Structure 1
Amino acid sequence: MQNHARQCAVASALCVLLLGGCLSLDVPEDAFFYPDARVAAEKIDLPTDAPMVFPAEVVRLRYAGGDIGTTRIRTGRRDAPLILYCGGNLFRRSSGAGTVANELAPFGDVLMFDYPGYGDTAGQADYANFLAAGVAVADAARAQAEAEGRKLIAWGHSLGGPVCAQAAAYMKADALVLEATTPSTRAAVDTMVGWARPFVRVNIAPNLDAIDVPAALKTYSGKVVVLEAGRDKTLPPALSRRLARELRTEGLRVEHLLFPQADHGDVPQQADFKPRMAAALDGL
């Protein structure tokens, strides 16, 4: 659900700057976001979705910016947890709902949503709106889980990692899954800059620079499962390792699962994913 070529924008900009003798790199807030307008302008082909094999219900939710495109997937298992899913940068329900449902259904029902400016959610595509929409969906997830007597899991992939980390702390989720993501924007940018980092002044937009997953989870009491994709070219594996390490430093309960053959978007497609993930979530 991510495109490695799109995520190389920062690294490409760095090369231009270095060749021009300028050792300063500005990272605006929209550098990493791909709302519908940008997807259309850059003629990006979104992935083909898998057929939906579970009952799917469109949920009507709103936040300050307008309607939130939200879907509830029901597995039919009354004892299954409810999973709030925060997708990656190119995730839309219109092109990923069936795939996500199939991947996560072994572990629970799924509540998924489009970010502002993406799919069916109104509003400007900025991180403040992403969080505001996430809080509204988190409220709905908590209410549904309590009404149905279900455990509650937050599951964030890539861009969704920071969004779902905030949601997990806010709604007091029983567990949080952080799949192929980063502890902070600065950590991701530093990794993209690579060997030249000591020579470059990096200026990150304030809302992006404030992203700090370990800090957001300081008071979180649930279990955290970090999923590392060993061949990730978008958010390199070292970021998942650093995330797990920093979360443990904060005193959180962390289980770190490495999938050495996985790339950024295919951790759930690994042969050992289901049994290892089920074991990690057992006993919630």
Structure 2
Amino acid sequence: MRISRLLLSLVFVVAFSGCSTLNVSSRQFIPKDAGKLALLKKSAPDYQVDNIEFKHPDGAISRGVYIHKPDAQFTVLYFMGSGIRLDVAGGYFAKPFTELNANIISYDYHDFGRSDAPESAFGLAELEKETLALYDHARATTKGRLVVHGHSFGSFVAAGLAGKRPLDALVLEGTGTSARDYVENQVPWFAKPFVQINIDPELSSTDNRTALRAFQGPLLIMNGVNDVQTPLANSRELFDSLNIPHKRFEAIREAGHMNAMTKPEALSAYRDFIGVVQ
């Protein structure tokens, strides 16, 4: 529970700081969901939120949202990080795009959140097929520019898509070079001497440098300077490895893994990037 983690953290702070008083208010016990979609009604009242779904040939149903208004300048197909759900974080990650005057399309991943699927084997190859189908559907039903944006794990999903389709533009946020690096970064530095990571062949072959080798469309990579899950050095290594005519890298100050897009400099970079996308 959130409150249990909070109190545990406070106890550790008190214990190690030598303090003897722990102040706890009733507000800490009242649940608050800061990322739910309903919050967009207040922060972006001009936008309409429609529930959408796409049925795949195997019977799986991808469910998501289309957040839109008539005078939006472009549309973003957004691939979330692993473990992120629309109903929990949709309002949080969508808000910066409403400030950019963009429409947003996003789906929960296979058999997760709102999405359903029959009992069957499902891996990265099947995820790629679903991703391609969702993009093709979005492209066929969207007028104007369609920007593919992937965050964290979603950046690997988006990069794989970019290797298969001629995208209008690609944005990778909180990204890195390979799935192996991504997994290893999840282990705190102090625990690494005691942890052995075995990655299956399917995952270990996932590499953004390989996926983007043939991509020649506009690319924006942005990363929080304080990101420890996908460190800045890893995203910069990916950027430097790519021979793409129009590419841009943004290191977002005072940002970690989850909040880079909330910073003014990220929004400014995004506007500039979209301004040169035809």
Q: TM-score, normalised by structure 2?
A: 0.75
Which protein, 1 or 2, shows the higher relative CO under an 8 Å CA cutoff with sep ≥ 6? Answer: 1
CA–CA separation in structure 2 for the residues paired with 1:94 and 1:126: 24
Shift of 1:190: 4.8
Shift of 1:61: 0.4
Which structure has the larger Rg over C-alpha atoms? 2
Q: Percent identity?
A: 24
Q: Tell me the equivalent position of 1:72.
A: 66
Which amino acid counterpart does residue 131 of structure 2 have in structure 1? G
Match of 1:182 among 176, 183, 187: 176
CA–CA separation in structure 2 for the residues paired with 1:226 and 1:137: 22
Shift of 1:240: 1.2
CA–CA separation in structure 2 for the residues paired with 1:126 and 1:238: 29
CA–CA separation in structure 2 for the residues paired with 1:246 and 1:200: 29
Shift of 1:246: 1.7
Q: Given that residues 82 and 141 in structure 1 are in contact (C-alpha distance below 8 angstroms), is that contact kept between their aligned partners in structure 2?
A: no
Q: Tell me the equivalent position of 1:281.
A: 274
> Can you list the C-alpha shifts for 1:162-211, whole angstroms capped at 9, x where unaligned?
10112233332111100001221122245557699899975311221121
The question of 1:60 aligning with 2:37 is answered: no
Q: Given that residues 85 and 156 in structure 1 are in contact (C-alpha distance below 8 angstroms), is that contact kept between their aligned partners in structure 2?
A: yes
Q: TM-score, normalised by structure 1?
A: 0.73
Cα distance, 1:157–1:107 mapped onto 2, change above 3 Å: farther
Shift of 1:70: 2.1
> Can you list the C-alpha shifts for 1:19-59, whole angstroms capped at 9, x where unaligned?
xxxxxxxxxxxxxxxxxxxxxxxxxx986425123211222
Q: Which consecutive unaligned segments of at least 5 residues does structure 1 have? A: 6-44
CA–CA separation in structure 2 for the residues paired with 1:162 and 1:130: 11
> Can you list the C-alpha shifts for 1:80-138, whole angstroms capped at 9, x where unaligned?
22211000123211112222221112152111001113112123664334322211210
Q: Given that residues 217 and 244 in structure 2 are in contact (C-alpha distance below 8 angstroms), is that contact kept between their aligned partners in structure 1?
A: no
Cα distance, 1:189–1:119 mapped onto 2, change above 3 Å: closer
Number of equivalences = 235
The question of 1:270 aligning with 2:259 is answered: no
Q: Which consecutive unaligned segments of at least 5 residues does structure 2 have? A: 6-31, 42-46
Cα distance, 1:60–1:201 mapped onto 2, change above 3 Å: closer
Once the two structures are superposed, the pairs formed by residues 1-284 of structure 1 within 5 Å of their partners are 48-49=35-36, 51-53=39-41, 54-63=47-56, 64=58, 66-77=60-71, 80-105=73-98, 106-123=100-117, 126-145=123-142, 148=143, 150-191=144-185, 203-247=198-242, 250-251=243-244, 253-284=246-277
